[in-house]
Amino acid sequence: MSAGLNSVFSSLTLLDWAIVAAYLLISLFVGVYFTRRASSSMASYFVSGRDLTWWLLGTSMVATTFAADTPLAVTGWIRTDGIWKNWFWWNYIFSHVFIALVFARLWRRANVITDNELNEIRYSGKPAAFLRGFKAFYYSTLFNFIVMGWVISAMAKVLKVFFGVETTVAIAICLFIAFFYTMMSGLWGVMLTDFFQYFLALAGTIILAWVVIGSPEIGGLSGFVEKLGTIDEKHVALFMTPSSGDPVSDGFWSSSFFTFFVYLTVIWWSSHNTDGGGYFIQRMLSAKSERDSVLGTAWFAINHYIIRFWPWVLVALASLIIYPTADVAKGDNEAMYVVMINNFLGPGLKGILFVTFLAAFMSTLSTHLNWGASYIMNDLYRRFLYKDGTEKHYVMVSRLCTLVLTILAGYFAMHISNIGKAWIFLWAMSAGIGLVLVLRWFWWRVNAWTEISALASSLAAIFILVLYTRSQGIPLELKHQILVIPVSVLTWIIVTFATKPEPLGTLNEFYTRVRPWGWWKPVSDMNPEIEKPRLTPVLINWVLGVSFILFGMMGSGKMLLGSTFTGLVMVIISAISGVIVYLRLRKELAD
């Protein structure tokens, strides 16, 4: 293989371009086909008329989290720190299982168009209205722009390595590709293209891993396992221990073990995604029934953690074996995934992998455009600015919002160079609010000021940390960002008990509408006819569900990396846990 970046530029063949053209024509067709259905109402445009089956909404969830940035960021982390660094997103196993078991039902019962709309059902008065408007603005703009920015930035890297296209041109191409069908077809088009795009993208990653591992440089799976001994063992570590993390030599707060400890114990319950997160909630709200919402979210978790991840790992580790340094990509470890595509795939296959990136990119960007527009329209424009418009008027303005969001996302993409760092910074922007988002469903005492103070203190803390680190000339690291959580938690606890609870009338409306678990005695006493659901069976199912997903993911990886017996034992534990939790849930879902 050649050693320079210029040598990995290669023009796609006619066959490759035919594959790309076919994919784009299908996406265009979907956008046009669903235009009329999406145009009928806000509910059709943003929640697909609440008519989605579990397999479609679950696949759409996993397609959205599979963006062009994902294999790049995973590759960069594995090449620099090791597989264990992916615990930054693996830790969400704990919350995603809980979302499938609990929040998937509660959100479907809420029967709203956006999660922000729930704020004026759970809370009352001007604080509730302010919270709804502020969160809609914050998450649809600044927060959403960072996400779309890194997704576009990742696709720009792909285009640059494939064709040598400069970043500005690459970003413009990416935006143009995704915008049209999202604007025309709303969530209908997003969901249908997501379904097609996910299986296309998954097939592409498996093909790449198969070809790379079977290449002469690697020598098949047995050769791959043997050659893993030629790279630093830190790269294949699934867990980080105090000794491997060097807390003594590095200092505990700067050690890899501290980072791993935070990933495993803090992030999953402290983030804004704890009860689902915006676009996940959008899909749960679109389900035909509670059963579809639960099964769809469970289907997402199985795909997200067990099925799609390990092909990326195989390619990333193989890249380390073949290219110990990233010189071939001008030092960009994240771009090495694309280098492997260029250097190992021939005509046809290269076109399929290029379409894989297009599919992953378009599924994520289209989701964020539609989701962001839903916040602006349902929680700002329709709620505060223009309340008496027709449904067709709101759909038309929604399409204009999509255009504006697309342009602004492109601007943010110009300023994001490292995807992995952007992921961590985004978490810190709302760290500390996660526990509040859970408790508002389980504890009657939480009020609007609780949530306002949690979000405001998180934003204030991260802003102060950014100013401090810049003034000291040091990078903003996780050890700084973790300080956001105690500041936020302490703030909202004090504010909660210093302010009045929500009126019983408001709480009663919420309780009868969603029938939540937890501590609702003042309200449940008013509704003796509503059966009080027990929390203990849910917690048992949660443990079993986590065991199913976690051991399935770890066991698959262990077998691929050469620890066959250990991996097999883990897979057996996973299967047993999965069967038990399924049998426990079957009667509930049938009811």
Judge whether 236 and 317 are in contact, CB under 8 Å: yes
Q: What distance in Å separates the CA atoms of residue 37 and residue 473, rounded to the nearest whole number? A: 54
**Res 36: pLDDT:** 63
* pLDDT for the residue 554: 95
Half-sphere exposure of 131 (CA within 13 A, CB side): 25
Residue 550 inside a domain? The answer is yes
Residues of the chain with pLDDT under 70: 1-12, 30-43, 161-171, 173-175, 177-178, 180-188, 241-254, 412-428, 476, 478, 480, 590-591
For the stretch 364-405, pLDDT in tens is 777 888 888 889 888 999 999 888 888 778 878 888 888 888
- CA–CA dist 515, 534 (Å, integer): 12
DSSP string over 62-97: HHHH--THHHHHHHHHHHHT-GGGGHHHHTTHHHHH
Please give the structure tokens belonging to residue 10.
Answer: 């290669």
pLDDT score of 198: 84
Distance, CA of 321 to chain centre: 29
Domain assignment present for 226: no
Domain limits at 585? 534-591
Task: Say if 243 falls within a structural domain.
Answer: no
Residue 165 pLDDT: 65
In contact, 225 and 236? CB cutoff 8 Å: no
**Predicted local confidence at residue 186, as pLDDT:** 66
Burial class of residue 231, CB neighbours in 10 A (0-12, 13-18, 19+): middle
Asked whether residue 568 is domain-assigned, the answer is: yes
How far is 275 from 563, CA to CA, in rounded Å?
A: 35
Q: Decide if 394 is inside a domain.
A: no
CA distance 360 to 155: 9
pLDDT above 70 as % of the chain: 84
What is the distance between the alpha carbons of residues 574 and 586, in angstroms, rounded to a whole number? 18
Does residue 565 fall inside a structural domain? yes
pLDDT at 2: 36
For 359, the token pair is 């599919």
Q: What's the pLDDT score for residue 284?
A: 92
Q: What's the confidence (pLDDT) of residue 70? A: 81
Instruction: Return the pLDDT at 409.
Output: 75
What's the domain count of the chain?
1
14 lies in some domain: no
- Residue pointed to by tokens 């959403």: 144
Relative orientation angle of helices 536-560 and 309-322, to the nearest 10 degrees: 30
Euclidean distance between CA atoms 236 and 217, whole angstroms: 19
pTM of this prediction? 0.86
How many whole angstroms separate alpha carbon 348 and alpha carbon 149? Answer: 30
Neighbours of 210 (CB within 10 A): 15
Assigned token pair, 12: 């796609």
For CA atoms 344, 350, 354, 355, give the dihedral sign.
Answer: negative
Whether 559 is covered by a domain: the verdict is yes
